[in-house]
């Protein structure tokens, strides 16, 4: 049969909508109709291209559309088990949220005093409570909050660039995830970018030169601000020269230009291994404003934190872009609860910090219990080399314990696919063609769910 004749045999839209599989679904007819059109379009294309030679029946198409509707309407995103060994995994939602933080979000879900001063009945600020708490916690004169780390960078650079633009070392032109580059984000609001130094070596004199451009070059102007970016996801070695943030700030102060320090991960120091730069250290070094994410080492919700000098933060707060980037009430509630957790004595009792703090003995005990319950051999327990991820401590591993999933003839990628297809999906890491399930990134509360998923794997 030629393809035109096949096309003529495709089920009609109304017959599909009235087929039992679709008619029974309590979903808007217009939505069903949209999906039916899409499915028919795909079938038409497949028939024309010769990828299909048989026209499916009404029920077959209707059932496929019903399956698609079901997939579309399942609650998303779905919870997964993070056994990748990357504790802050951007693809898996970064910092896991604490129960108390989730409670705070729930409390703010209905009507709340977001922008109302209950004492006077007058309009208030959504930052009224968060601002002084975060400022005290971060040791900053003032703090502002936006939707994510990139937005914080964008706001700071746009508001502080001035006519001369922002000077940034070529050695700090970091590309973060998904092809996004710090330099491009910094300039996205119209800030002029002045590149200084070279990829491997930038000297203080390079920054100074950006403030005193060659007078014979009529197009160049003195830079109005410096941007210092933490190399969040790579390290440089060899013939390398870097300017310390404190050195840069000393130069800037003498010349009256502000320094923006993009820290990326925003560590408070407590409960974080390695020597990731802390917010307090960057402020002590003299940065006028630091920017970082709320859902990296701070261990909170997606947010962008800006902390620094009162006058600088006030400029940011009053910039029109601040209104476009402001966080919603759920973010504010979650950040407040996260900040309150940081305020308590001792290491922060947040899921991220609990994962980072888990000692080798407790990880080993969990692994042994899992392996015993599964009847796996003792060799299924291996050393796990976890990383923090999320733009922190590049190249550094946090030792721990991992399970090696017995292959029984299946390749590591086939095993990984099967575990991803489970409910809940389990995400591991493939190393040397073995599938590793790293317990460092998996909260101990998830062990039962992991056990069930692995038992399911044994059955398939």
Ligand X SMILES: *Cc1c(COP(=O)(O)O)cnc(C)c1O
Site residues, ligand X (CB under 6 A)? 148-150, 153, 174, 176, 182, 229-230, 232, 262, 264, 293, 391
Q: How far is the CB of 291 from ligand X (least distance, A)?
A: 7
CB 304 within 8 Å of CB 147: yes
**381-389 β-sheet, strand order:** 86-88, 381-389, 398-404, 434-438, 429-431
Q: How far is the CB of 294 from ligand X (least distance, A)?
A: 7
Neighbours of 460 (CB within 10 A): 8
Supply the DSSP string of 413-453, one letter for each residue.
Answer: HHHHHHHHTSSS-EE-EEETTEEEEEGGGS-GGGHHHHHHH
- The C-alpha torsion from 353 through 356 and 360 to 362, rounded to 10°, is 40
Residue nearer to ligand X on the CB measure, 80 or 95: 95
Residue nearer to ligand X on the CB measure, 186 or 453: 186
Q: How far is the CB of 91 from ligand X (least distance, A)?
A: 12
Q: How far is the CB of 175 from ligand X (least distance, A)?
A: 10
Q: How far is the CB of 94 from ligand X (least distance, A)?
A: 8
Residue nearer to ligand X on the CB measure, 183 or 341: 183
Q: How far is the CB of 151 from ligand X (least distance, A)?
A: 7
Alpha-helix runs per DSSP H in 49-148: 58-73, 99-109, 130-138
CB 454 within 8 Å of CB 405: yes
Residue nearer to ligand X on the CB measure, 11 or 301: 301
Of 444, 436, 435, 457, which is closest to residue 375 (Cα–Cα)?
457
Residue nearer to ligand X on the CB measure, 186 or 405: 186
Q: Which residue is nearest to ligand X (CB)?
A: 149
Residue nearer to ligand X on the CB measure, 299 or 400: 299
Q: CA 130 to CA 120: how far, in whole Å? A: 19
Residues 6 or more apart in contact with residue 303 via CB below 8 angstroms: 145, 146, 147, 148, 293, 294, 295, 327, 331, 334, 335
Q: How far is the CB of 283 from ligand X (least distance, A)?
A: 17
Residue nearer to ligand X on the CB measure, 232 or 281: 232
Residue nearer to ligand X on the CB measure, 32 or 296: 296
DSSP bridge pairs for 241: 201
Q: How far is the CB of 177 from ligand X (least distance, A)?
A: 7
| Residue 3 CA neighbour count, 13 Å, CB half | 10
């Amino acid at each position: 049969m030629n393809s035109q004749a096949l096309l003529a045999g495709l089920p009609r839209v109304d017959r599909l909508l009235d087929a039992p599989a679709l008619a029974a679904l309590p979903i808007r007819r217009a939505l069903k109709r949209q999906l039916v059109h899409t499915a028919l379009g795909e079938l038409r294309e497949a028939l024309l291209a010769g990828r299909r030679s048989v026209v499916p029946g009404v029920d077959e198409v209707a059932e496929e559309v019903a399956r698609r509707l079901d997939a579309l309407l399942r609650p998303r995103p779905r919870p997964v088990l993070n056994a990748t060994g990357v504790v802050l995994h951007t693809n898996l939602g970064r910092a896991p949220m604490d129960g108390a933080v989730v409670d705070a979000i729930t409390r703010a879900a209905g009507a709340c005093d977001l922008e109302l001063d209950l004492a006077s009945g007058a309009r208030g600020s959504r930052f009224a409570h968060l601002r002084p708490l975060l400022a005290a916690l971060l040791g900053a004169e003032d703090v502002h909050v936006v939707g994510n780390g990139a937005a914080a960078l964008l706001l700071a650079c746009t508001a502080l660039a001035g006519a001369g633009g922002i000077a940034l070392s070529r050695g700090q032109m970091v590309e973060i995830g998904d092809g996004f580059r710090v330099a491009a984000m910094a300039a996205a609001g119209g800030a002029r970018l002045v590149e200084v130094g070279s990829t491997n070596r930038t000297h203080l004199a390079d920054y100074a030169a950006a403030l005193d451009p060659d007078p014979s070059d009529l197009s160049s102007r003195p830079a109005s601000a410096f941007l210092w970016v933490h190399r969040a996801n790579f390290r440089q070695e060899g013939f390398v020269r870097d300017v310390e943030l404190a050195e840069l700030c000393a130069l800037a102060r003498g010349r009256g230009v502000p320094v923006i320090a993009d820290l990326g991960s925003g560590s408070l120091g407590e409960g974080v291994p390695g020597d990731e730069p802390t917010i307090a250290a960057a402020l002590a070094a003299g940065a006028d404003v630091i920017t970082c994410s709320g859902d990296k080492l701070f261990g909170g919700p997606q947010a962008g934190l800006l902390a620094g000098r009162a006058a600088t933060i006030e400029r940011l707060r009053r910039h029109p872009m601040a209104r476009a980037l402001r966080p919603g009430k759920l973010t504010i509630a979650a950040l407040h609860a996260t900040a309150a957790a940081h305020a308590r004595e001792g290491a922060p009792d947040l899921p991220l910090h609990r994962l980072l703090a888990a000692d080798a003995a407790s990880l080993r005990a969990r692994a042994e219990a899992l392996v015993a319950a599964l009847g796996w051999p003792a060799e299924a327990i291996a050393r796990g080399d976890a990383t923090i991820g999320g733009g922190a401590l590049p190249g550094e591993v946090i030792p721990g314990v991992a399970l090696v999933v017995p292959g029984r003839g299946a390749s590591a990628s086939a095993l990984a696919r099967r575990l991803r297809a489970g409910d809940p999906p389990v995400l591991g890491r493939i190393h040397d063609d073995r599938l590793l399930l790293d317990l460092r990134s998996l909260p101990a509360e998830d062990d039962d769910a992991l056990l069930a998923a692995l038992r399911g794997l044994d059955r398939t």
